[in-house]
Structure formats: C-alpha cells, structure tokens
Amino acid sequence: MFKILSKTQLSAVVWEMVVEAPLLSAHCKPGQFLIVKMDEKGERIPLTICDYDPEAGTITIVFQPVGASTDRFLELGVGDAFQDVVGPLGKPSDITEMTDEELKSRRFLFVCGGVGTAPVYPQVKWLHDRGISADVIIGCRTKDLLFYEDKMREVAGNLYVTTDDGSYMHKGVVTTVIDELVAEGREYNHCVAIGPMIMMKFCCLTTQKYNIPTIVSMNPIMVDGTGMCGACRLTVGDEVKFACVDGPEFDGFKINWAECMKRAQMYKTVEGEARLRYQEGKTHEGGCGNC
C-alpha cells in the first residue's frame, strides 16, 4: 500500500498528491512515469512523476479528473492509500544522459500547457540543481487553470505565462510567445514541449521554422504503460514506436501527428461511458436506482 501524505487542489481542475514510496523515489529520473491503481478493481492509470524526494521517500503526482478512475482518486484523502504504484517506467528525459559540457552548450526552452506543467517541472528543476538555466512558457486557457507558477519561477531562468482569454499575464497561445521571444533575439537550440496533443503539434510547427530541435512527450496516448496493449503505438520517422516503452519522449519533428491525434480519440467514448456510470450510479441506465 502507498500512503497519501498530502492532497492539494492546485487549480480549478488539477490536484496534487504526495505519496509515500521510498523504493520508487530512490530510482526516479525526470521524464519517467508511474502506473497507479486505486484498488484491485481499479483501472491502471499512467501518471507522470511530477517530483520525487529520495530522502523523504516520497513521490509527487499531479492529475486532472477526466474519467471514472481519476474521479475516484478524489475520494481519497490524507492517510488513505493506493493499492499499487508501479515504476519508475519509461525512459528518462534525454537531458539526464547529457554530459556537463553538452548541458552548458544548450539554450533550453520548455513549453507546457495544461497538466503538461507537471512533467516539465522536474526537468527544469533538475537543470536548475546543476546550475543550468532554462526559459519556460506556461500556457492555459484561463487563469483559474494555472498552477505551479511560483514553483516554476523558483527554478526557471525566465518564466512566461500566457492565457488564451487574457485573464492573466500575456494574452494568446504558447506559440505566439515563442514567436515573440525569437523576434526579441532570444536564441534556443533545445526545446521541450509537453501538453495537449494539439499544443505539441503546433509548438513543433513553430520551432521548426526557427530550426530549434524539439522533444515532446506522448503520455496522452498511453493506456497500459507496459507495451502490452498497443494503444500508444505511433510512427516516428520511418519507425513504429510505443510511447510507454520507447518513450515517452520523442523527436517532435519526426512524429506522425495526424496518426497520433486520431489514436488519442479512440477511447474517448468508452472513457466517457465509464465516467457516467460512476457519476450516475444505478440511475445511469434510466432507472430509478431502486429497481
């Protein structure tokens, strides 16, 4: 059992949990993820490792309730526990494999949208701890959906926040901020973009104009997380890959985005039906609930 040590609502739709997991926290690296299962009947949920503390023996997960299983996460409080947490899974971010010389030669730009802020944070923090500065753009639809601004500001070289509706800071999408930074003379040779599929796609189209190599995370299409279900199959260049075992991070310029975005919609109906069954209980099929 993996005890929940703290539970915090970060925004209107995003929650954070710090979980006791000493063996896992000792082996985590930025870019990796976990499979979390609430109980023996629960669904296997892939979640990015947002933070980890080997000394305290804890891991931090951030999630947005989007289905029946993540809705059930909200029932848990401090002192409750997940039955199973498996990890760390996936390959660590490529920055963790770079030499000091390589890191110092890079001019990093991180772009995150929505819950993608969570997996970006440990990478920027990892660089900061090694004396490497990175610029960060956080994008969200409206101010109420923004989270980790203060934590990111502590580790980022420069932080730029943009909202689609202009309710906070810059008005616009993340790609307009990229254009503006380049126009101002900022130079980058390594970009990491993590967020909704459509955001990552257009981020790559923008950075490609400026010849900025861009890494993206394909967590959004993962289901099983162990390479067995085939749900996260994608085409990268001329090769077939699986996001969970070959990634989750890939060269964004080589990804077949049309294929990935179609695949990301495959389970929406099933997921939606499961969520309605959970939320509506016995009345889901139209009965009174007492039959």
Q: What is the mean pLDDT of residues 219-248?
A: 83
Domain ranges of the chain: 2-89, 94-217
**Res 14: pLDDT:** 92
Mean pLDDT of 237-252: 89
CA dist 157 and 232 (Å) reads 34
Average pLDDT value over all residues in the chain: 87
Question: What pLDDT score does 44 carry?
Answer: 83
Arch. (CATH architecture) of 94-217: 3-Layer(aba) Sandwich (3.40)
Q: Is-same-fold flag (2-89; 94-217)?
A: no
Residue 39 pLDDT = 78
- Split at pLDDT 50, 70, 90, the class of 290 is very low
Q: What is the pTM of this model?
A: 0.86
> Average pLDDT of 224-235?
79
- Tokens representing residue 154 in the block: 């502590």
pLDDT in tens, 76-113: 899 998 888 888 998 999 999 999 999 999 999 999 99
Task: Tell me which CATH homologous superfamily contains domain 2-89.
Answer: Translation factors (2.40.30.10)
